Structure 1
């Protein structure tokens, strides 16, 4: 795909690690509108926190980089708090995954995750989510899950990508869960290396952020 790297608007990003396995939930805002990317847990509390800090702005809803339970666990609470107009965007190729992975994580780790319900929007390669003045561009990066995506946004502050569990500093996300595939995720990492500008800040699903420049220099999976 061809990403639009023209800077568009100013963007604010706030991160909160929450949920049973410390997933990074990101609030992304521009010109008074916000979304929460990967609301991991207790969505009602996430919404309450948001409006306590931004009482005059609008939270549109949730966007998930993939369908694993620890990335959709807060969606039900966000939807209950925001009402019928709440956005819930999920990759189209992961549409069936939340129910499957909720059951899988319950069996593996005893985590009982709230059902996020049916998405209000299914997203795929080339789609754009407009938030205020910003455009979150969808890039498909399967391998961790069949429908995993990166959300890329070119801003006045620089290039940012929400990479979910596809990329981690020096490594990549696990591929041993249902729907994961090692060869596919390595192909996706090579795609990211081609498409994302080297100065892109990569905000990961767990742990610390990285940059494409750093990963191109040190991540052995980027060139496999």
Structure 2
């Protein structure tokens, strides 16, 4: 069956991307800034401190939304604190990962990690949804496998395309599939689909560790061939 999803790769707007590595599993938390607006992607831990440090570094910029690539505890652990610090903020979670949050928080508890409950999302994300921030647009692409509802958020901007890939893609590899809801066949299908959909110049900002590009992964990642 043909892929009916259409990705808009026309450059639109500009962004600045800032990030911090935080939480017990060293998650990359990204701040996507455009004009006087920002969204935070995958706040891993201590959301109140994330809000304070961002405000100090970027006066006059309002964080309008939390956007999660998937429902694992190490990617939603800072949601509760951000919502406490910024009561008007939206919390966006992939629709298919609602059950994943509670399950994975319980799993991490067995590892000695207690994660604050993020609460109910204010918006559920489906493939094709667009999240605006200033002059830029984040387009949601469904990438099941690491979790049932995993999303990649693609942003075509004047500086060149970028994608926030969560734990779907790592340099030369992919996210683990041995946790509840993981599916090895699905994640490989998702990776190959990303290789077809995203421009080769796309910078891929990953959930843990260094970034990569689609061009590099098509050349070196065996799971994308």
Shorter-chain TM range is over 0.9
What do residues 109-137 of structure 1 show as CA deviations (whole Å, max 9, x unaligned)?
11000000000000010000001110000
For 1:65, the equivalent position in structure 2 comes to 69
For 1:131, the equivalent position in structure 2 comes to 133
Match of residue 47, structure 1, among 44, 48, 51: 51
**TM-score, scaled relative to structure 1:** 0.98
What do residues 185-216 of structure 1 show as CA deviations (whole Å, max 9, x unaligned)?
00000110110000000000000000000000
1:61 deviation in Å? Answer: 2.5
1 CA distance for matches of 2:178 and 2:59? 42
1 CA distance for matches of 2:35 and 2:99? 33
**TM-score, scaled relative to structure 2:** 0.97
1:15 deviation in Å? Answer: 1.0
3-state SS of 1:158 partner = coil
Gap runs ≥5 in structure 2: none
For 1:31, the equivalent position in structure 2 comes to 35
Q: How does 1:147-166 map to 2 (within 5 A)?
A: 147-166=149-168
Displacement over 6 Å in runs of 4+: none
Match of residue 114, structure 2, among 112, 115, 118: 112
Q: CA RMSD in A?
A: 0.6
- 8 Å contact 1:4–1:154 — kept in the other structure? yes
1 CA distance for matches of 2:28 and 2:214? 19
Q: Pick which of 134-143 and 51-60 moved more.
A: 51-60
2 CA distance for matches of 1:93 and 1:61? 19
Gap runs ≥5 in structure 1: none
1:54 deviation in Å? Answer: 1.2
Across the two proteins, how many residue pairs are aligned to each other? 221
2 CA distance for matches of 1:44 and 1:200? 32
- 8 Å contact 1:149–1:163 — kept in the other structure? yes
- 8 Å contact 1:61–1:78 — kept in the other structure? no
What do residues 130-156 of structure 1 show as CA deviations (whole Å, max 9, x unaligned)?
011100000000000000000000011
1 CA distance for matches of 2:107 and 2:83? 23
For 2:104, the equivalent position in structure 1 comes to 101
